[in-house]
Each structure stands twice: as C-alpha cells, then as structure tokens.
A = this chain, B = another copy of it.
Amino acid sequence: MPIYNAPIQDMKFILNDVFNAADFWQKNEQLAHVDSDTVNMILEEMSKFAKNTLLPINRSGDEEAAQYLGEGKVKTPTGFKAAFDEYAQGGWIGLGGDPNHGGQGMPKMVTMLAEEMVFTANQSFALYPNLSGGACMCIYNAGSEEQKQTYLEKIYSGEWTGTMCLTEPHAGTDLGIIKTKAVPNEDGSYSITGTKIFITAGEHDLADNIIHLVLAKTPDAPAGSKGISLFIVPKFHVNADGSLGERNAVSCGSIEHKMGIKASATCVMNFDGAKGFMVGAENTGLASMFIMMNYERLTMGLQGIGGAELAYQNATAYTLDRIQGRADSGIQEPNKAADPIVFHADVRRMLLNAKTISEASRCFAMYVAKELDTNKYTDDAAARKAADDRVALLTPVAKAFLTDRGLEASIDAQQCFGGHGYIREWGMEQIVRDTRISQIYEGTNGIQSLDLLGRKVVKNGGAFVTTYVQEMRDFANNMNADHAIKQAILTSADKLEDLTKAVVAAAAVNKDEINGCAVDYLQAFGYVSFAYMFGLMVEAANGKEGDFYANKAKLADYYVGRMLPRLDAHIAMVKATSQPITAFDRDYFAATIA
C-alpha cells in the first residue's frame, strides 16, 4: 500500500518561519479572520482526508478509470462520489472562495497547501473540485451580481460543479481561431454551438448540475483573440428560485483514453444551440480569465509538487526496506543477507533529488501565493502593482519549472524501485503517468516559457527581472546564516541579470530568438529562483534548534553542489542563440521522414 504523510512540519515552517504568515494576515484587514490555529486545523484535517480518503482510491481509480456509459453519461471510479461528498461537506471547494457567497475566504497561501495535499494523494480527484474553483473565480472576477448569486454558493457547496471550455479540436494554444459560435437570442441569452475538447470534468456523476464556462465568438466578433467572449452554459437550466429546470443542449460525446489521470473524465463536449449567458463584456473573454489563469497555473505547479512528494515518500519507504548489495562504506546490517538500498549513495542521490525538488518547489509556490494574496488583499496600490508584476513574472515559472521538476522527481523515485517501479501494482509508474500531464495542459511548458521570455521579460526590457534580482541581492547581502547559499544566490542573480540583458538585446535583432531560447531561459530562471528559495529557508532555519532546521542547511548544500550547476548549461544554451535551430528549414524536417 502506498503511503502519504503530509509534510506538515515543512508546510508550517514555510508558511510561518519563511513567509511570516501571521504577520501578513494581521497587516491586511480582509484577512483578519485568518489565524494560526485555524490554519493548523485546516492542514491537519486535510492531511487526514488526503491520507485516509483520497490515497486509497488513487490506484483503484487509475485501474477502473472514468467510464463513458453512452448517451452522454460518465461514471467516475468507485469511491469518487463519496470522497467528493466528504470534500464538499468539509467546505474544501470554497476554501478560498468569496465569504459573501459561502466561501471560506482563505488566502492562496493556505489553499495552496490544501491543494498540494489533494494533488499528492490523488491527482485525478484533485481536478474535479479544481475546475469548480476556476469556474467560480471567473464568475467572481467578471460575472454580474446575479450570476454570483446564482452560481457561486451552489458550486462552493459541491451541489454543482464547474468547467472551463476553451480548447477545440483545431485550436489549443491558439485560441484566436476557435469556431464555437454564440448567437444572441431575444431574451439577452445566447445560443452556443460548437465542439470543445479536453474538458476536464465536463460530465460526471458527482453533482446535480455542471456549469460550463465557455469561450465562443459572437457573430460580428473581430478575428483572433480580441473577438472572444465568455459564457456560462449550465447543463441544466436554473430556475429563478435556484432549482433545476430542463436539460440544456450541451452533452458529452465521449471521453479521452489517456496516459494517466485516468480517473479524471476528460470530455468532448458538444454544444448544440445551448443557451448561454455572457460573463463580463463582449469580446473580453480572454481578459476575464486572466486572474483565474494565474491561480490555475500556480495550481498546476502544485500538481508537480504533489507528484514529487508522493514519489519521494514511497521511494524512501521502499529503499529503507529493500535489501540488495552491501554499502560501500561497510556492512550496515550484518544480520541481513544485504543492506537496505538507502545506504547506497546513488540511491540517496535520487531520493535527495526528489526531496530537494519538493521542498524548493513548495517554497517557491508559497512565494508566488504570497504575491497573489498581496495583490488581492492589500490596500497599498504600489504594493499591489509590485505584487501583480511579480506574479506576472513568476507564474509561468511556477507552472513550468515545478511540473518539469515534478516529472523528474517522479522518474527518479520510480528508478529507486528497479524493475518493481515499472509494475503497476507498486503505484510508482502511475505517478509518472499522472504527473506528465501537468507539463502539457493549462498552456504547455513551452508556451509558459514563451509567456515568460516574450511577454514578461523582453516586452518590458527586463524590468521585472531587475527588481526580482535586486530583491535577491538585498536578501543575500543581509543574510545572517553563514552558508554557501549566500554566495550562490549572489552569483546566480548576476548570471540571471546578465542572461536577461543578452536575450533582450538578441531578441531586438532576431524575431526567432525568444521562441528558440525560451525553454532554456525559463529553466535557468527556475534554478536561480530555487537558489533564492533555499536561501530563504536556510535563513529562516538559522539559529533554530533541531534536526529539521539543520537538515534545511544540508539540503541547501546538496542543491548548491548537485543541482544548481545545471544553471550554467541552460545559460550557455541560451547564449548559443536560436541560430542552430533556425538553420533548419521546414523542408529539412519533411525530408527526414520521407
């Protein structure tokens, strides 16, 4: 049986010691209801739910998978309905939701820890409430008061769920070319017609109604991404009193058979003149989703952490138990035919890789969460703007770098099992398969990299990077801890600044430079940021008594010696420019497969 004991000590350390959460909540009036006791209770309760309810249906959910029953019906795996009910009754869906509509009003710094635990225990399950949260955020940000009244409380309570319907068969990354049409009706509603694919939780048996948030084009909309509007399309119409009316003309045509997250229903949704209601103003559909996107993309980063954490914990348990060979440093357990493989340095290296990724990623996610919260809750306009800029800069990194590292950690941990890691019953290969999607959906990691380098770096001449780098330097220069991470941060900051200048200059003369260098730039950015995160953790642990704190410094040593050197490779690859790539034309590729 797989294990999962939520790393609550680490979560509390990051929340309280690294990011001074209590202080932050006190400073912001809208967070006056948040206190450490409440947060601790939330963490404890979620850790139990994740371990006792979600983890036991993770493997079975993969084996059973979501099933398309025909006639638009989808069955979730055994136990998912009961778990969803328990989750809903616990108030978890609306944990970060608007208190005026039944939400708990918890900041992202808290909800992200709960989300991480859900993703760790059961990636497929996590997606059902996650999409509800995304839909609510869209309605909250852009919807009318009536729309909020009608939908938010019902979704927060789990009575209904939500979806985000963006992708079409021919349009994924490029939403500007979607074909779904929204034709106005006389009553102010719209008739929505088109096909959406890859719709997570588009149909299921967990709730009474499903509220689809749908991107579509009105008849006279301008071409491209400026002509997209957002609509609410309920599966069942909602009567004035909130009760359910007739079935709307939207239905699930089939579900996808996937590499992983098999218990999550990924649906083809057919809109056949379905009645929809515009959210926000016409042609502002993409803008309405922007704030939601930042939250969602950070959440995808949490999925990466979840994969890394579950993989790490189970690999650790296995390597403590599995005996094979003798330790190089001498026989460790003479009573046994061999030593536990955790005594082999290469096995430890794989475990430490995963552990480093998990801890640094959690810290980075919390950093971004605090910026999101600052932007949402602070009254200081300058601070809000600074946080907004920082979120813009770091969101693509959180999404892509944390999921890339999450896959790496899950593969390393699987490797610790030898052949057993490849066998389904051990559960390790499922973590790899499940985690893999996090690099692909919600904007592929390539797209995140383009967003970072194009829109967040080159577009403003590197201004966002400058302030981030300066913050790092200021922090490092003021560190009390005597640790190699201090110099590592200073050196890394210089390198990131230098690299950014080089790319901004190169992009000014070559349009392909951004696209050709974006992925390596984001990787470099991520490794620099992890150095900063380890600095924050080492400083927060400095002077505190106990192994937990001492180990933070040791893991930072591991990071500096055994992972951070990758930074220079990515820098060198960016500096090699896009030329070695663009030297090949379309015909080259066509000829290689003829």
Residues of chain A having any CB pair with chain B under 8 Å: 3, 5, 7, 167, 170-174, 177, 197-198, 256-260, 312-313, 316-317, 319-320, 323-325, 328-330, 332, 337-338, 340, 342-352, 355, 407, 411, 415, 418-419, 421-425, 429, 432-433, 436-437, 439-441, 444-446, 449-450, 511-512, 514-516, 518-519, 547, 551, 554, 557-558, 560-563, 565-570, 572-573, 576-584, 586, 588-594
Of A338, A340, A349, most B-chain CB atoms within 10 Å: A349
A422 contact from B345, B440, B450, Cβ within 8 A:
B440
**Distance A445 CA – B347 CA, assembled complex (angstroms):** 12
B511 contacts A329, CB within 8 Å?
A: yes
A562 to chain B, nearest CB (A): 5
Residues on the B chain within 8 Å of A351, using CB: 589
> Quick one: given A419-B167, A581-B348, A584-B352, are A328 and B511 in contact (CB under 8 Å)?
yes
A30 to chain B, nearest CB (A): 36
Residues on the B chain within 8 Å of A257, using CB: 423-425
A588 contacts B436, CB within 8 Å?
A: no
> Quick one: given A515-B328, A554-B583, A580-B558, are A589 and B320 in contact (CB under 8 Å)?
yes
B346 contacts A518, CB within 8 Å?
A: yes
A536 to chain B, nearest CB (A): 19
**Distance A449 CA – B346 CA, assembled complex (angstroms):** 9
Residues on the B chain within 8 Å of A349, using CB: 516, 519, 581
Write the chain B residue with the least CB distance to A259: B429
Write the chain B residue with the least CB distance to A443: B418
A276 to chain B, nearest CB (A): 24
A422 contacts B436, CB within 8 Å?
A: yes
A554 contacts B171, CB within 8 Å?
A: no
**Distance A5 CA – B592 CA, assembled complex (angstroms):** 9
Residues on the B chain within 8 Å of A415, using CB: 439-440, 444-446
> Quick one: given A316-B593, A514-B328, are A345 and B568 in contact (CB under 8 Å)?
no
B512 contacts A345, CB within 8 Å?
A: yes
**Distance A315 CA – B491 CA, assembled complex (angstroms):** 38
A432 contact from B329, B345, B436, Cβ within 8 A:
B436
> Quick one: given A198-B419, A346-B516, are A424 and B259 in contact (CB under 8 Å)?
yes
Residues on the B chain within 8 Å of A198, using CB: 419
Residues on the B chain within 8 Å of A340, using CB: 586
B584 contacts A554, CB within 8 Å?
A: yes
Residues on the B chain within 8 Å of A519, using CB: 346, 349
Residues on the B chain within 8 Å of A172, using CB: 324, 418-419
Residues on the B chain within 8 Å of A579, using CB: 561
A91 to chain B, nearest CB (A): 29
B557 contacts A580, CB within 8 Å?
A: yes
**Distance A177 CA – B326 CA, assembled complex (angstroms):** 11
B581 contacts A558, CB within 8 Å?
A: yes
**Distance A316 CA – B591 CA, assembled complex (angstroms):** 10
B547 contacts A573, CB within 8 Å?
A: no
* Inter-chain pairs besides A258-B424, A259-B422, 15 sampled, C-beta below 8 Å: A173-B325, A259-B423, A320-B589, A328-B511, A328-B515, A329-B512, A343-B586, A346-B449, A348-B582, A422-B436, A554-B583, A557-B583, A565-B570, A566-B569, A568-B572
Q: What 4 A-B pairs are tightest by C-beta distance, nearest first?
A: A561-B576, A565-B572, A345-B516, A259-B429
Residues on the B chain within 8 Å of A258, using CB: 422-424, 429
> Quick one: given A328-B514, A346-B446, A562-B573, are A588 and B551 in contact (CB under 8 Å)?
yes
- Could you list some 23 contacts between A and B, CB below 8 A? A3-B593, A7-B592, A171-B324, A172-B418, A173-B324, A173-B325, A177-B338, A257-B425, A259-B432, A260-B422, A313-B592, A332-B586, A346-B519, A348-B516, A348-B582, A352-B580, A415-B440, A422-B437, A429-B436, A551-B584, A558-B584, A562-B581, A569-B569
A229 to chain B, nearest CB (A): 19
Residues on the B chain within 8 Å of A343, using CB: 586
A249 to chain B, nearest CB (A): 25
> Quick one: given A5-B594, A352-B584, A424-B259, are A325 and B174 in contact (CB under 8 Å)?
yes
Write the chain B residue with the least CB distance to A591: B547
Write the chain B residue with the least CB distance to A561: B576
B516 contacts A592, CB within 8 Å?
A: no
Residues on the B chain within 8 Å of A432, using CB: 259, 436
> Quick one: given A257-B424, A329-B512, A436-B422, are A573 and B561 in contact (CB under 8 Å)?
yes
A565 contacts B557, CB within 8 Å?
A: no
Residues on the B chain within 8 Å of A173, using CB: 324-325, 418
A267 to chain B, nearest CB (A): 13
**Distance A580 CA – B160 CA, assembled complex (angstroms):** 50
**Distance A348 CA – B515 CA, assembled complex (angstroms):** 10
Write the chain B residue with the least CB distance to A578: B345
> Quick one: given A258-B424, A328-B511, A573-B562, are A355 and B592 in contact (CB under 8 Å)?
yes
Residues on the B chain within 8 Å of A345, using CB: 512, 515-516, 578, 581-582
**Distance A570 CA – B319 CA, assembled complex (angstroms):** 25
B565 contacts A573, CB within 8 Å?
A: yes
Write the chain B residue with the least CB distance to A424: B257
